[in-house]
Structure 1
Amino acid sequence: MPFNLASWLSRYGTFVALILLIVFNAIATPNFLSLQTFNVNLTQVATIVIVAVGMTLVIATGGIDLSVGSLMAIAGALAPMILQGTIVPTVNPLLTLPLAFILPLIVVAMLGWFNGFLVTRYSIQPIVATLVLFTAGRGIAQVMTNGNLQVFKNDAFQFVALGYVFGIPTQVLIMIVVVAAAAFLVKRTALGRQILAVGGNEKAARLSGIPAQRVKRLVYLISGVLAGLAGLIVVARNSASDANLVGLGMELDAIAAVAVGGTLLTGGRANILGTLLGACVIQLVRYTLLANGVPDAAALVVKAALIVAAVYIQQSAGPGRT
């Protein structure tokens, strides 16, 4: 069989790119190999991975979710309001902490389901359906907070971002659990097989008895929950919530991580481990640019170029690759 460079890059390119970035920074970037730099990059990439895992499941069904950044902003706005008693001032103090986690996740889960409802009930293109909350979602978060920065301090709530378990940052452990759960879902469960079947050929999936509409709504719901979880981590890490900035541009990071990680943007495949590696590449690209004096805005151009390159490699590799 002749060597197919595009197919090889599709399989191993993300890992090779990650190794090259690590080697380059180890040589050219001062203090890159320090524990502090490692922790900074690991904690920064955690939220990208969490959101990108949800995006992977959506894309595997042949969809896309542009609303993840706005859903992060909504969840990130709700939690401080609950902790400060703005929403339910008479709530039992013992219930405040769990409510600050549960209520925002329920809200973004419903909004994620709404995305799926628009896609399935009215046959709206996913990019258009999720554009609704991409635009309106951040506006909702800004209205909720009157556009003001919410500064708060709650050690128990912030443990989700600033705490450590056996020396490992809590948010990194959450990332690992999310990746492991999603990988198990895709590889070992009937729902995972249904997700891939719907993305591969929805008509055939329907004819085989798979509830395609229910599957699509569920993956958008999962994407919303994971985006909300990432939003809670971000505001907990910053000790503040800014509806104007929380989750801003995250949809591009997530899509880039999925594309670079090898998941077909046309659906029918979900490479969860690849998404993890892709997110690490995205984070290291940004870190490398900043560490070498390149403006952060340039990272947006590089991310876009990475998506184009990943899609080109996928197309060049051919539909028959595994």
Structure 2
Amino acid sequence: MSMTTSEITGKSMLQVLRGHGGVVALVAILLFNMAFTPNFFQLQTLFVNISQVATIAIVAMGMTLVIATGGIDLSVGAIMALAGALAPLIFLSEFGTAYPVLGVALAIALPLLVALACGLFNGIMVAKLNVQPIIATLILFISGRGVAQVLTNGNLQTFSNPQFSYLGTGKILGLPFQGWLAVAIAVVLYLVISRTTFGRYVLAIGGNERAARLSGGPVARVKIGVYMICGALAGLAGLIVVAINSASDAARNGSLMELDAIAAAVVGGALLQGGRAPIFGAILGAVIIQLVKYTLLANGVEDEVALIAKAGIILVAVYVQQARKE
């Protein structure tokens, strides 16, 4: 039975939406804000959104690598809280006060190493002990933030340290430093995925792990590696949040970031069953997630509704993924 011209046109339009849904969604959000959100295109609004997008994008890129291997990481928010709690403790200590430059350097390096170790823990649980990723990372999801609150006695840590705060408030060519940092990380990860053996194994494992094992691929090492990268990026995002606020709140830093990161990765084109690692797509997804939240809040919609909207975005993205298989 032949298809009519209207059916062909409709099918073609649906294919375009499925293939470029993220771009279509972004354009729709921008047009809505242009029409209904006051001051949306002011520089101050741009800076605020870039600052928020950068942290989501950085974590989402790490999450994209994990998802590309067929895994998931629920611990990123807790790792953010842990890294963010450690930093002020270090440069506000006696050593940090006596040696301010070394104190700031250590306050960046040590939390990142701890975050890397958290990723190593997740990777070993998944790759060596064969624990399901959602269970393995749930351990740190529960305990990581608790450790952070124990370290800070549950108190808000405030500070004034221009050197450390540059991570969150510095600007290069008039744009927030963390935005440039997110782009640099994206370029590096894109090259890793597209130009290195490690990147090819990441995609191979997600595409067919059994085949990757039979071909002699270092499946366990690659899985551990992506969880370590994800952990390190979550730790970096935690430091940026603390630097933006000049305060560390272990109860709030990274709260629900696992939701934002997974949503951004999926909206950006990552397949939940693995096999794809669209790094720049993760940035696009982060932009969409942040703009949805900003748009709702700027138009008087409560934050709780924003959570429902994010869940709806994930649902639509999963539907689009399933439709692509048909």
- Pairwise TM-score range, normalised by the shorter structure: over 0.9
**Code of the aligned partner of 1:208:** S
Alignment-derived partner of residue 271 in structure 1: 278
Alignment-derived partner of residue 145 in structure 2: 138
Residue 89 (structure 1) shift = 6.5
Residue 203 (structure 1) shift = 0.8
Alignment-derived partner of residue 19 in structure 2: 11
Alignment of 1:32-111 (within 5 A): 32-85=40-93, 92-111=99-118
Residue 90 (structure 1) shift = 8.7
Structure 1 distance, partners of 2:98, 2:220, is 38
Alignment-derived partner of residue 202 in structure 1: 209
Alignment-derived partner of residue 129 in structure 1: 136
Counterpart contact for 1:257–1:276, Cα < 8 Å: yes
Where 1:141 maps in the other structure, the secondary structure is helix
Q: Aligned residues, how many?
A: 318
Counterpart contact for 1:199–1:268, Cα < 8 Å: yes
Where 2:20 maps in the other structure, the secondary structure is helix
Matched, 1:182 2:189: yes
Residue 4 (structure 1) shift = 5.6
Counterpart contact for 1:6–1:313, Cα < 8 Å: no
Matched, 1:167 2:174: yes
Alignment-derived partner of residue 226 in structure 2: 219
Alignment-derived partner of residue 299 in structure 2: 292
Residue 200 (structure 1) shift = 0.6
Structure 2 distance, partners of 1:158, 1:199, is 38
Question: 1:227-281 CA deviation, whole Å, 9 max, x = no partner?
Answer: 0000000000000000000000000000000111111011001111111111111
Structure 2, unmatched stretches of 5+, are none
Alignment-derived partner of residue 264 in structure 2: 257
**Code of the aligned partner of 2:235:** G
Question: Are residues 54 and 6 of structure 1, via their aligned partners in 2, closer, same or farther at CA, if it must alter by over 3 Å?
Answer: farther
Residue 309 (structure 1) shift = 1.0
Structure 2 distance, partners of 1:90, 1:19, is 48
Structure 1 distance, partners of 2:268, 2:168, is 25
Matched, 1:301 2:308: yes
Residue 92 (structure 1) shift = 4.0
Structure 2 distance, partners of 1:4, 1:207, is 40
Residue 40 (structure 1) shift = 1.1
Question: 1:29-55 CA deviation, whole Å, 9 max, x = no partner?
Answer: 111111111111111111000000000
Question: Are residues 100 and 249 of structure 1, via their aligned partners in 2, closer, same or farther at CA, if it must alter by over 3 Å?
Answer: same
RMSD: 1.6
Identify which range, 134-143 or 166-175, moves more after superposition: 166-175
Question: 1:194-224 CA deviation, whole Å, 9 max, x = no partner?
Answer: 1000111111011112100000000000000
Counterpart contact for 1:160–1:170, Cα < 8 Å: yes
Residue 94 (structure 1) shift = 3.6
Structure 2 distance, partners of 1:304, 1:25, is 21
Structure 2 distance, partners of 1:73, 1:133, is 11
Alignment of 1:107-118 (within 5 A): 107-118=114-125
Identify which range, 217-226 or 171-180, moves more after superposition: 171-180
Alignment-derived partner of residue 25 in structure 1: 33
Where 2:213 maps in the other structure, the secondary structure is helix
Counterpart contact for 1:7–1:313, Cα < 8 Å: no
Structure 1, unmatched stretches of 5+, are none
Counterpart contact for 2:91–2:97, Cα < 8 Å: no
Identity level (%): 56
TM-score, with length taken from structure 1: 0.95
Where 1:156 maps in the other structure, the secondary structure is helix
Where 1:204 maps in the other structure, the secondary structure is helix
Structure 1 distance, partners of 2:262, 2:98, is 39
Question: 1:122-150 CA deviation, whole Å, 9 max, x = no partner?
Answer: 11110010000000000010011110000
